[in-house]
A and B are shown apart, each in its own frame.
Chain A
Amino acid sequence: MLNLFQISTSALFTVGRALDTTGHNIANINTPGYSRQLVEPATKPSMLIQGLYIGSGVEVGQLRRSYDNLLTENLRDVTGRQNHTQTLSDMANKVDNLLADPSAGLSPIIDDFFKSAQGVANDPTSIAARQDFISNANAVVKRFNIQTERLDDLSNYVNDQITMQVDEINDFAAAIAKLNSDIVVANARGVTTNAKPNDLLDSRDEIVRQMAEKIGVQVFQQDDGIYNVFIGNGQSLVTETQTRKLVVVPNRFDPSKNEIALEQTLNSGNNSQIANISTPAPVIISGQITGGSLGGLLQFRREILEPTQNGLGRVVTSLAVAMNQQQQLGIDFNGQLGKDLFNLKAPKVFSHAQNKGSLQLSAKITDIAQLTTDDYQITVLERGYSITNLNNGTTTQANISMIENDDGTTSIELTPPVDGMTIIFDGGAGKSGDKFLIQPARVALGKIDVAIDDPFAIAAAAPIATRAEPGNIGTGKLALERVFDTKNPAFADSGALKPPILIRFDNPKSTGGDLTYSIYDNTDPSTPVLLQDYSNPEEIKPLQGIAYTPGEAQIIFPIGSVDYGYQVKLSGAPQPGDSFRIEYNSESQGDNRNMLQVMHWQDNRIIDKNTATFQGAYDRMVADVGASARRAELSNDAEENLLTQAQNAQQELSGVNLDEEAANLLKYQEAYQAAAQLISTADTLFQTMLSVVSR
């Protein structure tokens, strides 16, 4: 009799716990990271009464959470990867959209620029056409600046995100350390009944999962249940109840770029502010971080943003260098040699923050065909210097040389030049181990503008005039083939050639009947002086008796040491005694020959070792970014599916199902009612007994 009371109360109590748990499950249906809990009833130990083991009811054997370590770990890993690809894809799409935007793309503007060059070529005396050319040059710069600004915005966004997310990760790490210690305490309290702090464990797993959204993590669980959390290549972030803090530090070369560093000392959360004087400096680990949105941001910056900035810069740098060179090869409306069309500042050289020497370097683009979109590191060695391409690892050993420039000045340069750039020593002295970073193709905002605003300063004409002497008998023609160097001393005097040239066909008798010509310095037309080739000091050769076959065009210059920076072409059938003059092209407003050369640059495959035009290089870059964005999108699609699968698998076990809880509720309600009925029955029996006794 007495047992029935105990049994029924044990049942009431146990079923009550089960109802509570069902309620707890329903209540937490939307709690992230919550694992549904189960009451596992167990029979109470039976009592030996009168030689019989009589059952004594029920008790809560275990309050268990539906949890599988592997499923949770898998979910965490996939979350890290998916957030990585998601961020990469989102960011890549931003660049993709920027480049594709027809109103923001550089390609149509370059088209317009060259079209306006054709306008000048068609009508070189038109001021309007020249003005249009300058306007279009400005439009190229403006469009480039817009794109640069937008890419800079993305770069700043990455910096801000790094700062924000590092803060969040530090908070998560601190929370995990705190939970580690709480869980150890809770486990110790429940050790006798093997009770587990299920909700604390869930919270910790959820925080680790949230951390994985920001950064890829690895978790190692100790036997006592403590989580040790690692990032990157095994850098410890949480060790038992202590953390290492992530900090944001400026890039050692380029302070405008945020990097992630890990402090080397452990904080136990509450006394982190006590600074140790001998604290080693935080170590930069940006390069080792993968996974999470932070991993995605860093990959985006490294593989899409910076190459795009460099690629865009290279197109503009090449265009500016080429146009400046071409301008210099022509003469303007006033007959003066052309000046630079674009102001292009030299690429910035970054000194490493910990350089010990005082060496100052600068760089100059000398060969646009060789210019890459890569970054380079220059290291001062014990002897000499090394230049390393940071993208492919190629290292070139270099030495310093004194170089004489075109304008007569000298400079100290690293030789050999690497990939179309020359590195110039501006002063100071380097110490072994000092490092410098050069991004030769990068053109920062404000580093380029249009140098010419005077339409008359556009060099549409060629500086050379060729003339057949009046009275020539034959049909010979002399034409300018090309001008390749107006820094040549031949152009040193403004408005005149030094020297003007006379080409005269010799008397056939003096050469045995062959048609030959001689070349003279025509400074004094009354006494032309035969030119001499001094290239072989042993044998100075006068430029006379040069054979010419009528009808077979011949390119003249350079001949040995006689190099005036231009070439002319002799054609047709001249007669003995015929002569031709080469002079400065003084009055030539209608001449468009240099503008025709400007136009030819549009189709000139110069970039990337003579494989791509300016627009081709830009288009290639757009396609590359598009392909990267596409790859990121595809791998994100895959990761999203994997994430859904991982979530489904984990939730299949741990998630709350309301129908199930409703069924349980009914089940436990029935059981509770039955147990209550049991007490009522026991009470009735007890009252019956009492009434018998009291009579």
Chain B
Amino acid sequence: MRIATARVYENGISGILKAQVKLDKTQQQLATGRQILNPSDDPAAMARVLELRQEIANTDQYQKNSDVAIARLNLEESALISASDILKRVRNLAIQANHAGLADSDRQTLALEVRQSFEELVGLANTRDANGEYLFGGYDSLTKPFTVNNHKVSYAGDQGSRFIQIGPEDQVASGDSGWEVFMDIPTVNGNGVFVTAPAPQNNGGGIIDPGVIVNLSDWRQDKYTLSFTTDDTYEVRDSKGELISGGGYRSGDNIEFRGIKTAITGTPIVGDSFTIAAIGPNTQNKGSAILHHSTVVDSSEWKQDIYTLSFSSERGYQIQDNAGTVVEVGNYQNGRPITFRGIQTKITGIPAVGDKFVISPGTKQDVFSTINTLATVLENATGLQSNTNVSSAVAQAIQDIDFAHNRVLDTRAAIGSRLNRISNAKDGNSYLSIQLNSSLSTLEDLDYSSAVSKLNLQTLGLQTAQQAYIKIVGMSLFDHLH
């Protein structure tokens, strides 16, 4: 066994170099505080590190998104709280107006206040956020959604609502369209199933409630007549004259039959009658024709009533009002608009002889029209004789305002639950963020104590290698030659 002198040098040096490389790496780790300096240090951990960094970045973004959503929803909620206040005030005004002893001037004053609330509500519905976007414009958020023309409000927005991503699989609506909040509101006749009306020839002072649905499965599509057989007894018959219900009358008592509920208040007298009519086609219809929604084209001609369109032949129809007066006769043509009393509707399909349709426009009514109608009634009511009309209109207005108010409250409840969801998501995300960061830290961050002890060990190793080198290369037989 021998060793070449050059190898002594080379092996000694390479030992020192290797120790230096190791020391340098540890030093870099200490300087950066990172366990993994290059992917090759631990490729699997590096892949996970990159993944974790992305997840953390995403989670942070979800938190920012949540804040955006919260800001928008809070703004909407405060607008809706104001809307709620306005509607409450209008409702109070309506109740005040429903006093028999009011003078015309009092009603005018009340009407003025109602008008003011109207303007205020329109302003509120056109609320903009900090970016100048209309809160209630739907997707069409840069166009002013509500414009007033001759006391009529038209909606220029659309029906969209913007969603914001608050979690990997979680989107939340950051608003509601004005169409939903203010426009698409059922009216007093808008339980969507039936409409109630007093017969025009009534002589008493009875007022019928718009009614609500109790149990839809018990409902049978038909036109029912409620008539007073004495001043304090009534009976309900269907279109064939069959007795459905009846009883003693007390003002304000519920009248329930066929899954619906209504009530009559005031002082009806014997012979008075009220209709409770199903909306849309009669159940006995044999043809396949369907009735389309009606729109008011000329409000001056319109008379609020329930109209029945019946086919006398396959090509001919007539329209009767609630009292049975024929108001229109025409030839049927599939899809051709049918216009009468200032409203327009149409029927498509193939009707059979004897088919009937009940036409009752305005099953949905925007809140602005509701308020406007109330104001108009109050403005136009003169003299004591109009008290009944006012009462009837006010009852309807109160119902309509309640519908509108309910919609506002429902929307606020929805906002509340969305805010709740966002808050939960935020909590979840911040917890997740902590978890992810700690996972990342475990993988990526340097364990300083072990790194420092490694550094010490490696420094010692290098020192030893250097000293050994000096000792070994310093020894040569030639040193002892003279």
* Interchain CA distance A334-B269 in the complex, whole Å: 64
B297, chain A: closest CB distance, angstroms: 14
Which residue on chain B has the smallest CB distance to residue A647?
B7
Among A30, A509, A602, chain B packs the most CB atoms within 10 A around the CB of A509
* Pairwise interchain contact A596-B165, C-beta atoms closer than 8 A: yes
* Interchain CA distance A591-B160 in the complex, whole Å: 8
- CB of B364 closer than 8 Å to a CB of A: yes
Binds B, one of A397-405, A425-433, A463-471: A463-471
Partner of B478, one of A107, A648, A658: A658
**Residues on the A chain within 8 Å of B139, using CB:** 461, 465, 585, 587-591
- CB of B2 closer than 8 Å to a CB of A: yes
* Pairwise interchain contact B50-A471, C-beta atoms closer than 8 A: no
* Pairwise interchain contact B40-A651, C-beta atoms closer than 8 A: no
- CB of A74 closer than 8 Å to a CB of B: no
* Pairwise interchain contact B140-A652, C-beta atoms closer than 8 A: no
* Pairwise interchain contact B481-A623, C-beta atoms closer than 8 A: no
**Residues on the A chain within 8 Å of B192, using CB:** 473-474, 575
**Residues on the B chain within 8 Å of A121, using CB:** 65, 164-165
A5, chain B: closest CB distance, angstroms: 31
* Pairwise interchain contact B291-A577, C-beta atoms closer than 8 A: yes
Given the interface pairs A526-B335, A589-B141, A629-B38, the reply to whether A663 lies near B477 with Cβ below 8 Å is yes
A-B contact count (CB 8 A): 245
Which residue on chain A has the smallest CB distance to residue B9?
A30
Given the interface pairs A107-B50, A115-B57, the reply to whether A471 lies near B43 with Cβ below 8 Å is no
* Interchain CA distance A577-B50 in the complex, whole Å: 55
* Pairwise interchain contact A651-B7, C-beta atoms closer than 8 A: yes
* Pairwise interchain contact A626-B285, C-beta atoms closer than 8 A: no
Binds B, one of A225-233, A492-500, A614-622: A614-622
* Pairwise interchain contact B11-A648, C-beta atoms closer than 8 A: yes
Interface bits B282-313 vs A (CB < 8 Å: 1, else 0): 01011111111111000000000000000000
* Pairwise interchain contact B43-A624, C-beta atoms closer than 8 A: yes
Given the interface pairs A100-B38, A630-B40, A652-B3, the reply to whether A577 lies near B171 with Cβ below 8 Å is no
Given the interface pairs A470-B364, A626-B46, the reply to whether A656 lies near B4 with Cβ below 8 Å is yes
- CB of A666 closer than 8 Å to a CB of B: yes
Within 8 A of A (CB), among B164-203: 164-165, 168, 171, 183-184, 190, 192-193
- CB of A521 closer than 8 Å to a CB of B: no
* Pairwise interchain contact B39-A625, C-beta atoms closer than 8 A: yes
Interface bits B248-269 vs A (CB < 8 Å: 1, else 0): 0000000000000000000000
- CB of B126 closer than 8 Å to a CB of A: no
* Pairwise interchain contact A507-B165, C-beta atoms closer than 8 A: no
Interface bits B330-363 vs A (CB < 8 Å: 1, else 0): 0000010100000000000100000000000111
B276, chain A: closest CB distance, angstroms: 16
- CB of B470 closer than 8 Å to a CB of A: no
Binds B, one of A122-130, A281-289, A532-540, A672-680: A122-130
- CB of B226 closer than 8 Å to a CB of A: no
Given the interface pairs A507-B289, A577-B280, A630-B40, the reply to whether A656 lies near B5 with Cβ below 8 Å is yes
A629, chain B: closest CB distance, angstroms: 4
B419, chain A: closest CB distance, angstroms: 16
* Interchain CA distance A616-B55 in the complex, whole Å: 11
Which residue on chain B has the smallest CB distance to residue A662?
B477
Given the interface pairs A472-B364, A589-B141, the reply to whether A651 lies near B184 with Cβ below 8 Å is no
Partner of A615, one of B14, B54, B158, B285: B54
Within 8 A of A (CB), among B131-160: 131-134, 137-143, 158-160
B136, chain A: closest CB distance, angstroms: 11
**Residues on the A chain within 8 Å of B212, using CB:** none
* Interchain CA distance A461-B138 in the complex, whole Å: 12
* Pairwise interchain contact B363-A471, C-beta atoms closer than 8 A: yes
* Interchain CA distance A439-B139 in the complex, whole Å: 44
Interface bits B19-63 vs A (CB < 8 Å: 1, else 0): 000000000000000000111111110110011011001100100
Chain A contact residues: over half helix, strand or loop, or mixed?
helix
- CB of A213 closer than 8 Å to a CB of B: no
Which residue on chain B has the smallest CB distance to residue A115?
B61
* Interchain CA distance A577-B476 in the complex, whole Å: 111
**Residues on the A chain within 8 Å of B401, using CB:** none
Given the interface pairs A108-B57, A466-B159, A469-B293, the reply to whether A507 lies near B288 with Cβ below 8 Å is yes
**Residues on the B chain within 8 Å of A471, using CB:** 293-295, 361-364
* Pairwise interchain contact B50-A622, C-beta atoms closer than 8 A: yes
* Pairwise interchain contact B2-A657, C-beta atoms closer than 8 A: yes
B481, chain A: closest CB distance, angstroms: 6
- CB of A633 closer than 8 Å to a CB of B: yes
Partner of A527, one of B47, B164, B293, B335: B335
- CB of A93 closer than 8 Å to a CB of B: yes
* Pairwise interchain contact B11-A509, C-beta atoms closer than 8 A: no
**Residues on the A chain within 8 Å of B38, using CB:** 93, 96-97, 100, 626, 629
**Residues on the A chain within 8 Å of B7, using CB:** 647-648, 651-652, 655
Residues of B within 8 A of A (CB): 1-7, 10-11, 14, 37-44, 46-47, 50-51, 53-54, 57-58, 61, 64-65, 68-69, 131-134, 137-143, 158-160, 162-165, 168, 171, 183-184, 190, 192-193, 279-281, 283, 285-295, 335, 337, 349, 361-364, 476-478, 481
Residues of A within 8 A of B (CB): 29-30, 36, 92-93, 96-97, 99-100, 105, 107-108, 111, 114-115, 118, 121-126, 461, 465-474, 504, 506-507, 509-510, 526-528, 575-577, 579, 585, 587-593, 596, 599, 602-603, 615-616, 618-620, 622-630, 633, 644, 647-648, 651-652, 654-660, 662-663, 665-666
- Besides A122-B68, A465-B139, A620-B47, 10 more A-B contacts (Cβ < 8 Å) are A122-B64, A467-B159, A469-B293, A579-B293, A589-B140, A623-B44, A626-B40, A651-B4, A655-B3, A659-B477
12 A-B residue contacts at CB 8 Å?
Answer: A114-B61, A471-B294, A577-B291, A592-B163, A602-B58, A619-B51, A625-B39, A627-B44, A651-B3, A655-B4, A662-B477, A666-B481
Q: Which 10 A-B pairs have the closest CB atoms?
A: A655-B4, A590-B141, A626-B39, A510-B288, A626-B43, A591-B139, A629-B40, A623-B47, A662-B477, A651-B4
